[in-house]
Structure 1
């Protein structure tokens, strides 16, 4: 399954604003009891830096445990980054239904707090 998601931040009452898309793929391996998440790319991300670009990366984890967190590499000065990075979560099949995948897109900031571009809960 490949999914493109363009979501706005948590607050549903804020004005709707397009914040880009994230392409990713999910694959469950029954023999290995493993969920593989492939972060493919992002498109049309908003410019978060003064120069009109962003330095995006994606953080991902499963709820409710948050035991294993992953993140992609930072792609410098890009509003359309290509990541092509895979991450594997060990999850028994009988527990997969109780898990929630969280994908956060951030803009890297060398000297301050990294800006959250958006959050997607799957």
Structure 2
């Protein structure tokens, strides 16, 4: 037997990060994906995090992103990268030229993409 819970576009996120999360902050969800806070989420409280959609986020300004590139979130630098050891973020939605400090990314949602090299 199974019970449908929700579509999964958003999740209730318990903030145990050690710091308050601001409205529209990027929120790493473990090592699987990122979301964007829909509200302020004080420490040790629960708030809503968006897991889907296209977002403009800070990005590595030393790299060009092509449409369809897999992008990752660098937690320390608080920016999108193409470094696959960072947290998976999503797909580049619009080309970003080198020296541009933001990029559009289609979030992965609650599903992690497996690359061809992983199968």
TM-score between both structures, scaled by the size of structure 2: 0.26
| TM-score normalised per structure 1 | 0.25
Determine which structure has the larger strand proportion and give its number: 1
